Amino acid sequence: MSQPSTSRQWRGVIREYADRLDVSEATPVVTLGEGGTPLIDAATLSARTGANVWIKFEGMNPTGSFKDRGMTMAVSKAVEHGAKVVICASTGNTSASAAAYATKAGITAAVLVPQGKIALGKLSQAIAHNAQLLQVEGNFDDCLDIARELDARYPVHLVNSVNNDRIEGQKTAAFEVVEVLGDAPDFHLVPLGNAGNYTAYHRGYREELARGATTRLPRMFGFQAEGSAPIVRGHVVKDPETIASAIRIGNPASWKLALAAHEDSNGYFGMFSDARILEAHRILSAEVGVFAEPASAIGVAGLLERSDAGEIPKGSTVVITVTGHGLKDPQWAVRQPDGSEVAPTVVPVDTDEIAGLLGLAAQEKRG
């Protein structure tokens, strides 16, 4: 089912980058048009830091997170190999993405999520797309252990980021950044959960350098929440805790790969309290104009902290990946730093009163 040659519609990451992915004529392309997301110049963050700051807004993917880039590859390859059921463990976004791509492929998604620990927006996506959804009485790491065991013992196909097809699909985000900037940035900042995305960007940039499309390899900076920071602390965290549910992971699947990417890129790992994450979340929505889920804002906290530490030279180019959309987990936007909720002011149907409340009363046009 090819598109008319006059179509200018983005074709999804597999068709756009077919020559740089492990696909062939035999691969049935399962796509929802993922990728091609905007790289947004963040003028207010540039002004704060003196760097040229860009936001790669992955919330613009079909299911609202970067997971779609990897899922189009993982589900296409699964179908190529005859899979009828894909399985994953998820903090939310992987399940939403697996459910949508399995639906597109006409197969079943079975998803394991930690009970009570995933955002309602993500849970509703998995349910809407008809996934076989099970809430496990454990955390994400327990869910991943079980998913791996099911994959080993039963005819199901694992689509977590331990599946290399996921990382391969996700590396295309680096290709897109290079296309827009004309070179790699000096720094690339991402949240760290399983560390698959950190690994994927590094791989994408490495490939760009190898084929001569860029002159440098960005320093890869990754950030975790303090209550869920195994990579920063250097040991598994048994009961990870953070409001940033997408990165509430105590034993990252791509830990070793991330350490290698860190070493190769002269990278950096840091961590922030939930309060700092929410502060960054607010800056992103109220000063930049990008609405993200909490985990997705941590790169902004990283930018400000590293800049204050004098580690981001003025004039350098910085890309921050904002991994998921704010509509997935909107409760944090209406919550004030003191914990109270913002309640919109209720007004009568009265133009003069509303003009007064908007501070417009003295500026009425004469004429």
Ligand X SMILES: *Cc1c(COP(=O)(O)O)cnc(C)c1O
Residue 195 as a binder of ligand X (CB under 6 A): the answer is yes
Q: Which amino acid is at 344?
A: P
One symbol per residue from 84 to 113: x for binding ligand X (CB under 6 A), - otherwise; what is it?
---------x--------------------
At closest approach, how far in Å is the CB of 164 from ligand X?
13
Q: Is 139 in the site for ligand X (CB under 6 A)?
A: no
247 binds ligand X (CB under 6 A): yes
- In this complex, which beta carbon is closest to ligand X, that of residue 104 or of residue 281? 281
Based on C-alpha coordinates, what's the Rg of the chain? Answer: 21
Q: Which of 29, 45, 60, 67 binds ligand X (CB under 6 A)?
A: 67
From CA 165, how far away is CA 71, in angstroms rounded?
Answer: 8
For the CB of residue 360, give the shortest distance to ligand X in the complex, in Å: 39
Distance from the first to the final alpha carbon of the chain:
60
Residue 31 binds ligand X (CB under 6 A): no
Exactly one of 192, 232, 278, 303 binds ligand X (CB under 6 A); which one? Answer: 192
> Which among 30-38, 78-86, 131-139, 191-199 is the span making contact with ligand X, rule CB under 6 A?
191-199
Estimate the share of the chain in helix, then strand, then coil, as percent rounded to the nearest 5.
45, 15, 40
Among 62, 191, 204, 218, binds ligand X (CB under 6 A): 191
- Non-local (6+) Cβ contacts of 124 within 8 A are none
Select the span of 137-145, 171-179, 292-300, 349-357 touching ligand X (CB under 6 A).
292-300
**Residue-wise over 334-354: b if at least 16 C-beta within 10 A, else e?**
ebeeeeeeeeeeeeeeeeeee
Measured from the Cβ of residue 154, the count of other Cβ atoms closer than 10 Å reads 10
132 in Cβ contact with 110 (< 8 Å): yes
Stretch that binds ligand X, among 5-13, 142-150, 187-195, 206-214 (CB under 6 A): 187-195
Question: To the nearest whole angstrom, how small is the minimum distance from the Cβ of residue 357 to ligand X?
Answer: 36
Applying CB under 6 A, among 295, 300, 319, 333 the residue interacting with ligand X is 295
Burial track 252-262 (b if 16+ CB lie within 10 A, e otherwise): bbbbebbeebb
